[in-house]
Structure 1
Amino acid sequence: MLSIFQRHPRYALFSGVALLVTFLLLASQHAPPPAIVIDTFSPSEELQRRLEYSESAYRKMLRAREDLIQKFGPARDKVLMFPPDNEPWPPYTVWDFVPAAFNCPHPVERIGALGDGGKWVCGLQRVAPKPDCVVYSVGINHESSFEAELLSRTSNCEVWGYDFSVESFGPEVQDDPALLSRAHFAPYGLAGTNSDGEHKMFTLQTLMALNGHEHIDILKIDIESWEFETLASLVKPYLESGEPLPFGQLQLEIHTWGKKFDEFLSWWEMLEAAGLRPFWTEPNLVYINYNRGSDADLAEYSFLNILGDNVFISEREFYRPRGDAHPHPPPLARHD
């Protein structure tokens, strides 16, 4: 007598396939899970990937800036710093054209007091163990909470402070012998040229030469609108030579008193061309509160220098420029 498999071959085939599928399913329950492949990067590669992404996002913002100029200009000299409150109401101020659109690749935190005096810093942990950490602070004005916290949270950083309007650091540093041992003060001003008038004024290059410094890790400047002349004089020779600016990070209060939009934006684009990227900003609300009805003329900005080989953009143990002193995207050109 023929078996059921011989009488019904299609049934036999179906049964075989069913048994095979059942076997495979049972086997898969005991098999190890498939390996997950994750891209791994060295610290240097990961840092560069973050910087490249941030630069790409920043250049996207530059295109949006040009669109905004076209909308409210269209010529640059037709754009107002702070449009009057009338009809039709232009919904912008000068600060909308220069947002802090660069993402710092390290933690950003407030160093110093809330309110007036403190500054936003990117990657303080990068300089905390640095054996030759150098900080310049120009503009003290009796308040040194920024310098005090920076000194207290680092082991080797030293601060050089300059301000011709006061005689010393503020009490936060001056009254603490442990901090004062790493703080150096002189009643000098920062300017675009050296001068020896009523107040001694020096360029940043001259101050660095006097101190024997070739590089500054963190540079804080608050010089009551003289930043325009001072930084223009500082940046110009570096743009002409192609060398990176001699500092890694800049905390700057900008005072736009009497400035026209085209003048301001040309100065700002010079900073961008030199490799400075704003990663944090806030309006000076204390100034607005004390001067009710005035424009928002003052704003705090923090910049990262993305050119060269400073501690904030380079893993020095792993990264070295490959035949190029400027490993990042080329400086920005003005868009006319």
Structure 2
Amino acid sequence: MPFPLTVFQRHPRYALALAAVVLTAFWYLSPYEAAPSLYHPPLDTTGLPRDPDLRNRIARSERIYQRTIEQRQELIKKWGPTPTDIVMFPPDHEPWPAYTVWDFFPPTFTCPHELERVGNLGDGGKWTCGLSRIEEKQDCVIYVFGVDWDSSWEAEMLSRTRHCQIYGYDYSANGFGSFVPRTAAARARTHFEKATLGPSDSHGPEDSPKMWTLRSLMRENGHSHIDILKVDVEGWEFEVMRSMVRDFISPTEDGTFGALPFGQLQMEFHVWHRRFDDFLSWFQLLEEAGLRPFMAEVNLVYANYNRQSGVELINYFFLNTKGDNVFISDGKSTIAQEVLAKDDGRIPGAEADEPDIRFIRHGPGPDAA
């Protein structure tokens, strides 16, 4: 006698429907367990942007920057293997190394405050870290060596700070550019002199151009600190910075080492005729002095109008992580004296015939062949 068919065998569609109902109920009634994630968010916020402790944020940036220095050595070994074997800008033929000199020095130190570009877009503007730190600072001091023809950065610094005094020096200009207003208020906070920054002093009556070291010029002005130092001296920056480190970092009488007297450095590099090993040792000198680059910007205006050349000009922006300055410390400034304003009786202004932007050129620096 054949085995009797069940109801599910006679009606398979009912069986499938019942199975679907059971599985759905099981799905909704079962406890949910998320699949394991490959991402584990950090629980420790120390040093992150939302960390209110400025020292923690700087310390975190320093750890990141030290990794960059290690990576630099690895890149040198890859393409060298020694610094003397590295070419600043490899030629356009096989083999094609995938680097330029600037790839060895990325600005991986993070500005611990707001970062913004102040002044014009294009030529003249500069990246600035923590402008809010000096907006109301009573003894704010800014030095500018190499006055730009438009001075848009200086003009915006004047308008966005209450007390900053700007000291400009350039032996090839007669004053600040046209963006700096010719008003009594601007005159009270801007001071210009036809002179230049150099590795040694030569500013006697017969010297032309007159050259000052930063140390001598600060002493002349009665300053013991500078909040922002802006330097564009057409290739002299290498000797200038060596002299500056020697003047300020040398051991003091009590055996401790000094610190560079500024909080932030904005400098254009001109690496005409430079060898990589020389530039490396010079950049390492800046790092040993506590300077950490938080931004870099190739001078593309120069590259565009000098197409037979390359990207030998670049602006670097550094924070000074040694000493005591307003960008790395929440304490009071170490300066007790007021800024000694030096009024030379002239309203800072540009020459009558300002240069055409189409013909901007940078001349050869002191190491030109």
TM-score of Structure 1 vs Structure 2, range by shorter chain: 0.7 to 0.9
Give me the CA root mean square deviation. Answer: 2.1
Aligned partner of 2:272 in structure 1 is: 257
Mapped to 2, the partners of 1:50 and 1:57 lie a distance apart of: 11
- Mapped to 1, the partners of 2:93 and 2:250 lie a distance apart of 44
- After superposition, the Cα gap between the structure-2 partners of 1:39 and 1:95, relative to the gap in structure 1 and judged at 3 Å, is closer
Letter in 2 for 1:87: E
Q: Aligned equivalents of 2:149 and 2:84: distance in 1? A: 39
Match of 2:71 in 1: 64
Deviations 1:281-312 (A, max 9, x none): 01000000001131210001100000111000
Assess if the C-alpha contact under 8 Å between 1:47 and 1:314 holds in 2: yes
Instruction: Look up the equivalent residue of 1:308 and give its one-letter code.
Output: G
- Residue in structure 1 matched with residue 244 of structure 2 by the alignment: 234
Matched, 1:213 2:213: no
Alignment of 1:123-202 (within 5 A): 123-196=130-203, 197-202=207-212
Q: Secondary structure at the match of 1:181?
A: helix
Deviations 1:108-143 (A, max 9, x none): 111111111111110000011110000001111422
1:282 aligns with 2:301: no
Query: How many angstroms apart in 1 are the aligned matches of 2:176 and 2:183?
Result: 11
Contact 1:44 1:315 in 2 (8 A): no
Question: How far has the Cα of 1:71 moved from its partner?
Answer: 0.5
For residues 56 and 281 of structure 2, the distance between their equivalents in structure 1, rounded to whole angstroms, comes to 29
Aligned partner of 2:324 in structure 1 is 309
| Alignment-derived partner of residue 108 in structure 1 | 115
Q: Tell me the equivalent position of 1:222.
A: 232
Residue equivalent to 1:10: none
The aligned residue for residue 258 of structure 2 is 243
Tell me the TM-score normalised to structure 1 length: 0.80
Identity %: 51
Decide which structure has greater helix share. 1
Counterpart CA distance in 1 for 2:44 and 2:102 is 41
CA contact (8 A) 2:291 2:321 kept: yes
* TM-score computed with the length of structure 2 as normaliser: 0.73
Specify every segment of 5 or more residues in structure 1 that has no aligned partner in the other structure, as ranges: 1-36, 321-336
Q: Which amino acid aligns with 2:134?
A: V
In structure 1, the partner of 2:4 is none
Question: Is the counterpart of residue 294 in structure 1 residue 309 in structure 2?
Answer: yes
- Provide closer, same or farther for how the CA distance between residues 39 and 261 of structure 1 changes in structure 2, counting only shifts above 3 A: closer
Q: CA deviation at 1:245?
A: 0.6
Superposed counterparts of 1:57-96, under 5 Å: 57-96=64-103
2:127 to 120, 133, 136: 120
DSSP 3-state at the match of 2:168: strand
Match of 1:49 in 2: 56
How many angstroms apart in 2 are the aligned matches of 1:155 and 1:236?
A: 33
Q: Is the CA contact (8 Å cut-off) linking 1:134 and 1:159 kept in structure 2?
A: yes
Q: After TM superposition, which residue ranges in structure 1, 4 or more long, deviate above 3 angstroms?
A: 37-41
Which residue of structure 2 lines up, in the alignment, with residue 30 of structure 1? Answer: none
Contact 1:168–1:174, Cα closer than 8 Å, also in 2: no
Report the secondary structure of 1:258's partner residue.
coil
| Cα pair distance change 1:253/1:40, threshold 3 Å | closer
Q: Is the 1:44–1:314 contact (alpha carbons within 8 Å) kept by the matching residues of 2?
A: no
CA distance in 2, matches of 1:134, 1:89: 46
C-alpha distance in 1, partners of 2:198/2:51? 36
